[in-house]
């Protein structure tokens, strides 16, 4: 995809100019560079979307319903690190608050809860303390037992996925729900259920160890649960990849460059502080991009290593190994392998070994060839020396 002029202007001429350091403090983003990149990216994406619409011969009759969300394309922040980032909690994505939420107001929410589900249904749909505006967004509440019984097949899971825009899950049953939903939901990050605390607002006395089972079945208050859901909808989530590259959704095409800039700055601050080991020293580059665009750099560093002490002036030399010990181990291995073989396989292996040796030793191959010729000649002479024919005429 060719870059637009706006994208070309946003890209810097030198990488070193993007990595700024202020009076000995940790590295910082340059707000002006972030805003330039945001303006260039949004202008390019809108221009490309308009060109695509103009080239279309026929317009979709359902464009107002189905394509409205597709036109508002997501924008991602790509983080590259110098060392691999390891995160074992893959099923519990980390929440990063955003000043400008990505999830729209008109969404259908499905909540997976701990049993009994009736307690949470009453909390959301019957309680007067639960906000009415938020209640209209919650389309379905499903307990773990009902999820396992009613949504077993692949088709029913796909249907459930298509019927809702956002999925929330009680953080106490995240693993159970993940096993029940499988790759249909967790194969991609687009609609992966977001963990929330459905015990929010309830008092839990952790000093009483005997009441552990009762504590697990605690249901939060209407106000506390509503606050948790609103916080989940106004944030973005990151599942750190066990690699040097991670992408996070930070905005959408309908945002202004200023809004996108503020979202990027908020995400970068929390992400580097809490989720990247060695923090800024481990960051190689930060970029923003659309689903099909090239990545625009907003912060790039030219160093390829984290610790200067680990950089070597010359290539490391290989340690000297004991050749005799190596041959001994190989011999023992071959002896053990021969003990495990039957007679036919053992004979075949020995023949292959002899053939291999003969190829390596030309003199031995020559001797073997001469002896065979002699044997053939002797057989022929023996047959000719017989005076009496073997078969009578």
> With bands split at pLDDT 50, 70 and 90, how would you rate the model's confidence at 366?
low
Residues 138 and 41 in one domain: no
Q: What span, in angstroms and rounded, lies between the C-alpha atoms of 96 and 203?
A: 26
Q: What span, in angstroms and rounded, lies between the C-alpha atoms of 366 and 249?
A: 72
User: Sheet containing 245-252: which strands, arranged edge to edge?
Assistant: 245-252, 74-81, 283-289, 296-300
C-alpha R_g of the chain? 35
Q: What span, in angstroms and rounded, lies between the C-alpha atoms of 97 and 100?
A: 9
Residues 23 and 111 in one domain: no
Choose the final residue of a domain: 304, 324, 354: 304
Burial of 42 from C-beta contacts in 10 A (0-12 / 13-18 / 19+): buried
Q: Which domain holds residue 265?
A: 1-48+72-101+239-304
Residues 124 and 136 in one domain: yes
Residues 110 and 97 in one domain: no
Block residue for tokens 């020293």: 281
Region 251-255: what's the mean pLDDT?
Answer: 91
Q: What span, in angstroms and rounded, lies between the C-alpha atoms of 148 and 150?
A: 6
| DSSP 8-class letter at 125 | I
Burial of 252 from C-beta contacts in 10 A (0-12 / 13-18 / 19+): buried
To the nearest 10 degrees (0 to 180), the angle between helices 31-55 and 257-274 is: 120
Q: How many residues make up the chain in this entry?
A: 393
Residues 94 and 83 in one domain: yes
pLDDT in tens, 149-176: 999 999 999 999 999 999 999 989 999 9
**Do the domain assignments include residue 250?**
yes
Q: What pLDDT is attached to residue 14?
A: 42
Choose the final residue of a domain: 270, 304, 338: 304
pLDDT in tens, 4-38: 444 444 444 444 456 555 444 457 788 899 999 99
Q: Identify which has the larger pLDDT, 29 or 62.
A: 29
Structural domain count, the chain: 2
Residues 228 and 272 in one domain: no
């Amino acid at each position: 995809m060719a870059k637009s002029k706006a994208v070309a202007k946003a890209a810097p001429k030198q990488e070193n100019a993007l990595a700024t350091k202020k009076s000995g403090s940790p590295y910082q983003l340059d707000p002006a560079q972030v805003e330039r990149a945001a303006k260039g990216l949004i202008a390019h994406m809108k221009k490309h979307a308009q060109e695509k619409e103009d080239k279309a011969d026929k317009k979709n009759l359902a464009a107002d319903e189905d394509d409205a969300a597709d036109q508002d394309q997501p924008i991602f922040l790509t983080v590259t690190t110098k060392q691999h980032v390891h995160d074992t909690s893959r099923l519990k994505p980390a929440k990063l608050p955003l000043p400008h939420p990505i999830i729209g107001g008109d969404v259908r929410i499905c909540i997976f809860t701990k049993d009994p589900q009736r307690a949470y249904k009453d909390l959301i749909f019957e309680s007067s303390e639960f906000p009415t505006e938020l209640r209209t967004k919650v389309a379905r509440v499903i307990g773990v037992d009902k999820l396992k019984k009613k949504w077993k097949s692949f088709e029913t899971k796909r249907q459930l996925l298509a019927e809702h825009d956002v999925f929330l899950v009680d953080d106490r049953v995240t693993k159970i729900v993940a096993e029940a939903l499988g790759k249909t939901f967790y194969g991609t990050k687009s609609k992966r259920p977001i963990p929330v605390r459905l015990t929010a607002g309830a008092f839990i006395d952790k000093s009483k160890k005997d009441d552990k089972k009762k504590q697990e079945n605690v249901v939060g208050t209407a106000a506390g649960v509503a606050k948790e859901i609103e916080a989940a909808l106004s944030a973005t989530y990151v599942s750190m990849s066990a690699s040097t590259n991670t992408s996070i959704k930070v905005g959408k095409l309908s945002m202004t460059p200023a809004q996108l800039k503020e979202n990027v700055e908020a995400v970068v601050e929390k992400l580097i502080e809490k989720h990247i080991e060695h923090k800024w020293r481990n960051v190689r580059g930060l970029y923003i991009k659309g689903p099909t665009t090239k990545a625009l750099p907003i912060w790039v560093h030219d160093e390829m290593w984290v610790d200067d002490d680990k950089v070597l002036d010359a290539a490391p030399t290989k340690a000297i190994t004991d050749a005799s010990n190596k041959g001994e181990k190989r011999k023992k291995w071959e002896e053990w392998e021969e003990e495990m073989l039957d007679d036919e396989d053992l004979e075949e292996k020995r023949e292959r070994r002899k053939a291999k040796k003969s190829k390596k030793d030309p003199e031995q191959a020559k001797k073997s060839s001469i002896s065979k010729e002699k044997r053939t000649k002797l057989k022929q002479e023996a047959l000719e020396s017989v005076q009496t024919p073997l078969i009578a005429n």
